[in-house]
């Protein structure tokens, strides 16, 4: 959300600096950089904050970073040039020196020391000799230095040399500029990478530079510009499927589904057999063409099988879906390799952890609160939060595994830094955590304890030593056993508890993708799934409302063009509409793939905690303990994770389950959605309440109109009724589909088990 409100947050941070609230201002600037790498204004803000606190060395580094982001753009953009000159002068006055060190002093000593000897040795010797005669800057020498560090993979020095080349470069060098751009993008220096590709596109007018600009713009969350660049790239080269895919992603995110359909048709004309990601995007709109193509390609590729499975589940029927699942299983795509260890105790404990319960949420269902009830049980191994929810993604373990055990542990702890310090700014793999910052804050793990002032922390060094002691007994290890080891070590280091007591591993997988879930469930043959639910209509309203930016209420759109407002509204609508789709469609594959799937109602947990948690304990094969009705993590009282509608909710407070519908939905909206959700309500014993079910025919008539929540969001963005009407087409199609396939849903839900309080 920070990306969409840059000016607001920059102004807010600047005001905080004038008020000498440096810590909060620095926090905002760092959050901006976490979401928008290489953002010059954020670096400049950090310079100001540190300088005002007399932290001169840090201030100097941040101002250097700010200037470096503007080097290339200052040569092409007059406004950037003025800012660059102003900041450069400020640097000279503040630190009594030039922004870049003279190159004769900077490069010559490094060559004399022989740091880069193995790169083009003959040329190296020639240049080194010539240095004795030269007392001036030599651009060729700097290029050799840059490519030397690139070849040796010395990242920091490569980047420094790249910036100097951009600063002093006197003529266009396409190969060099491309190399610098790739280096910058690889190291998340996205702003200067954009400027380089803008320059390359202007000078050479090639599709690849417009394509690169499109991809960079997406990473910077600038979809309007991404679309312009990608459309230009496709105009220059219609054969590159990646341009279509990235453009399709921007259309999908922004809710431009008609453009997405047309893009699919255009791609079919010019590209052969490479539509996987486009098909995934088309699933959002239920494309018949996408479904047909999936069926043709189903037996060739696991991803085609996945998308075809989803189409079968949601558009055709159960029997066809079962056939696709068998096809997926027969491929053994996600078979886990065997581990080898000489430690019999660890080997046995890994087997004990076959008794695993994966825990899922369904949008504003109270999952963190429930997890806090299970944490601390003497027979349960679990790690607080949902940091590991993406662990079973395709390439996560591959990025960790190494023949060097210490290196493997370092990589794991680097990726999952937030596990050990809830105040960490680092994100972790897997939606919704990937790309997000301060995960501990949104999880309620920085406000533990009676006074809400304790952040969860675990000693990393002790954890690393203990993990190494176990890992050293393995000649080979797979991702499943490494996952088990991490939990074993957590219990011993974080809790100081004996492994002998642990009978069940509780894994908060939260909202896994198909791939994450399939790979996990394929690893643990005795796995059980537990899903926490809440009144479907109430939970859906809360979840959708949480997506509406609070900032809209502060008139920040004043002065913004109508075209931009419409684009923002479409994106907002698409995001909220997808939450409806998630509730109705995209979580259902678990019902087909799980070994055993149980549901527990948040209302039961809050209203009859002991009776409900006794039933949960029975399902988990553990003894009932009073800890199961005392929410805490590592024996520290848990209050709640952040909630827009219930900011101070704590423990068994019933405010969330008693909240009346009406924050977002009107009566008409509620009646329609309640009727759509009828199979779920009836299977899980939720009464229809005041929003009485209507017939399918009546619901379809209501569905054909603009819903009141859509009017409400449209009004926030000041959108005309005609444009709202054009935006809601695919929401209508999805709700109509849900209404017309309710019998299928009843049939699917026969497999699930509802945990009821033990009387």
pLDDT tens digit string along 66-117? 998 888 778 777 888 889 889 989 998 898 887 875 444 444 444 444 444 4
Give the separation between CA 489 and CA 634, rounded to whole angstroms. Answer: 14
Average pLDDT over residues 39-55: 92
Judge whether 667 and 659 are in contact, CB under 8 Å.
no
- The per-residue pLDDT of the chain, averaged, comes to 82
Q: For 358-397, what is each residue's pLDDT tens digit? A: 999 876 778 999 999 999 999 999 999 999 999 998 789 9
Helix (H) or strand (E) holding 529: strand 528-533
What is the pLDDT, as a whole number, of residue 146?
A: 83
| Higher per-residue pLDDT: 712 or 348 | 712
Average pLDDT over residues 399-426: 91
Phi-psi region of 480 (alpha: psi -120 to 50; beta: other; left: phi over 0): alpha
Beta-ladder partners of 359: 508, 530
β pairing state of 528-533 and 356-361: parallel
SS3 state at 205: coil
Closest CA to 314 of 750, 733, 688, 753: 733
Question: Residue 131 pLDDT more than 60?
Answer: no
Beta-ladder partners of 528: 357, 596
Lowest mean pLDDT among 55-64, 204-213, 262-271, 276-285: 276-285
Count of residues making up the chain: 759
Q: What is the DSSP letter of 97?
A: S
What is the pLDDT, as a whole number, of residue 115?
A: 42
Instruction: For the domain covering 2-95, report its CATH number.
Output: 1.25.40.10
Dihedral pair phi/psi, residue 588, rounded to 5°: -75, -15
Confidence of residue 473 (pLDDT cuts 50, 70, 90): confident
Confidence of residue 126 (pLDDT cuts 50, 70, 90): very low
Confidence of residue 597 (pLDDT cuts 50, 70, 90): very high
What is the pLDDT, as a whole number, of residue 133?
A: 39
Q: How many CA atoms lie within 13 A of 499 on its CB side?
A: 19
Question: Residue 629 pLDDT more than 90?
Answer: yes
Q: Which two tokens stand for residue 711?
A: 């009017």
If you search the block for the tokens 């000159």, which residue do you land on? 85
Judge whether 379 and 504 are in contact, CB under 8 Å.
yes
Average pLDDT over residues 314-343: 67
What is the pLDDT, as a whole number, of residue 121?
A: 45
**Domain segments of the chain as ranges:** 2-95, 534-593+656-759
Q: For 455-465, what is each residue's pLDDT tens digit? A: 999 999 999 99
Give the separation between CA 514 and CA 242, rounded to whole angstroms. Answer: 23
* CA 537 to centroid of chain Cα atoms: 26
């Amino acid at each position: 959300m920070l990306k969409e409100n840059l000016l607001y947050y920059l102004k807010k941070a600047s005001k905080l600096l004038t008020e000498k609230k440096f810590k909060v201002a620095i926090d905002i600037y760092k959050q901006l950089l976490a979401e928008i790498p290489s953002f010059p204004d954020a670096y400049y803000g950090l310079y100001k904050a540190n300088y005002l606190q007399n932290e001169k060395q840090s201030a100097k580094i941040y101002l250097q970073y700010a200037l470096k982001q503007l080097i290339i753009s200052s040569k092409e953009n007059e406004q950037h040039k003025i800012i660059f000159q102003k900041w450069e002068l400020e640097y000279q006055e503040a630190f009594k020196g030039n922004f870049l060190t003279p190159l004769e002093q900077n490069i010559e000593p490094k060559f004399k020391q022989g740091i880069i000897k193995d790169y083009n040795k003959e040329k190296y010797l020639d240049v080194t000799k010539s240095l004795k005669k030269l007392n001036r800057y030599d651009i060729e020498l700097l290029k050799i230095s840059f490519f030397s560090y690139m070849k040796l993979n010395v990242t920091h020095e490569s980047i420094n040399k790249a910036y100097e080349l951009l600063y002093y470069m006197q003529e266009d060098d396409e190969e060099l500029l491309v190399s610098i751009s790739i280096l910058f993008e690889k190291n998340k220096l996205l702003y200067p990478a954009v400027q380089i590709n803008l320059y390359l596109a202007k000078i050479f007018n090639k599709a690849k530079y417009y394509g690169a600009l499109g991809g960079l713009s997406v990473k910077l969350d600038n979809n309007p510009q991404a679309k312009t660049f990608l459309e230009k790239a496709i105009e220059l080269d219609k054969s590159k499927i990646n341009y279509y895919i990235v453009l399709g992603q921007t259309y999908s995110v922004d809710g431009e589904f008609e453009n997405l359909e047309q893009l699919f048709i255009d791609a079919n004309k010019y590209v052969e057999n490479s539509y996987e990601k486009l098909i995934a995007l088309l699933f959002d709109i239920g494309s018949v063409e996408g479904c047909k193509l999936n069926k043709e390609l189903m037996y060739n590729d696991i991803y085609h099988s996945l998308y075809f499975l989803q189409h079968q589940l949601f558009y055709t029927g159960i029997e066809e879906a079962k056939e696709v699942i068998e096809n997926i299983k027969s491929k053994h795509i996600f078979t886990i390799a065997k581990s080898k260890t000489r430690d019999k105790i660890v080997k046995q404990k890994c087997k004990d952890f076959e008794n695993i319960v994966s825990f899922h949420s369904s949008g504003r269902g109270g999952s963190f609160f429930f997890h806090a009830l299970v944490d601390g049980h003497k027979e349960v191994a679990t790690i607080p939060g949902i940091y590991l929810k993406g662990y079973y993604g395709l390439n996560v373990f591959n990025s960790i595994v190494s023949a060097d055990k210490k290196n493997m542990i370092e990589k794991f702890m680097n990726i999952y830094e937030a596990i050990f310090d809830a105040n960490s700014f680092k994100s972790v793999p897997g939606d919704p955590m990937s790309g997000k910052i301060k995960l501990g804050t949104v999880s309620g793990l920085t406000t533990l304890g009676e006074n809400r002032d304790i952040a969860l922390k675990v000693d990393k060094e002790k954890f690393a030593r203990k993990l190494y002691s176990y890992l050293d007994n393995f000649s080979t290890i797979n991702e499943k056993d490494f996952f088990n080891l991490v939990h074993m070590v957590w219990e011993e280091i974080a809790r100081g508890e004996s492994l002998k007591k642990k009978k069940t591993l509780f894994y908060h997988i939260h909202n896994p993708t198909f791939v994450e879930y399939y790979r996990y469930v394929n690893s643990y043959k005795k796995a059980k799934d537990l899903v926490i639910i809440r009144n479907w209509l109430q939970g859906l309203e809360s979840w959708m409302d949480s997506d509406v930016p609070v900032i809209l209420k502060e008139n920040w759109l004043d002065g913004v063009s109508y075209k931009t407002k419409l684009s923002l509204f479409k994106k907002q609508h698409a995001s909220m509409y997808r939450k409806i789709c998630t509730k109705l469609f995209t979580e259902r594959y678990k019902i087909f793939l799980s070994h055993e799937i149980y549901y527990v109602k948040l209302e039961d947990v809050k209203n009859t905690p002991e009776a409900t948690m006794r039933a949960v304990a029975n399902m988990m094969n553990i003894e009932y303990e009073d800890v199961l009705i005392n929410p805490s993590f590592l024996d520290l009282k848990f209050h709640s994770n952040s909630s827009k509608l219930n900011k101070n909710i704590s423990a068994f407070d019933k405010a969330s389950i008693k909240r009346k519908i009406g924050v977002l939905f009107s009566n008409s909206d509620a009646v329609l959605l309640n009727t759509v959700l009828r199979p779920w309500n009836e299977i899980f014993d939720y009464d229809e309440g005041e929003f009485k079910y209507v017939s399918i025919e009546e619901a379809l008539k209501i569905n054909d109109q603009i819903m009141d929540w859509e009017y409400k969001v449209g009004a926030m963005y000041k959108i005309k009724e005609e444009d709202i009407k054009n935006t809601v087409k695919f929401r209508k199609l999805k709700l109509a589909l849900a209404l017309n396939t309710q019998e299928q849903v009843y049939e699917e839900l026969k497999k699930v088990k509802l945990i009821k309080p033990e009387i």
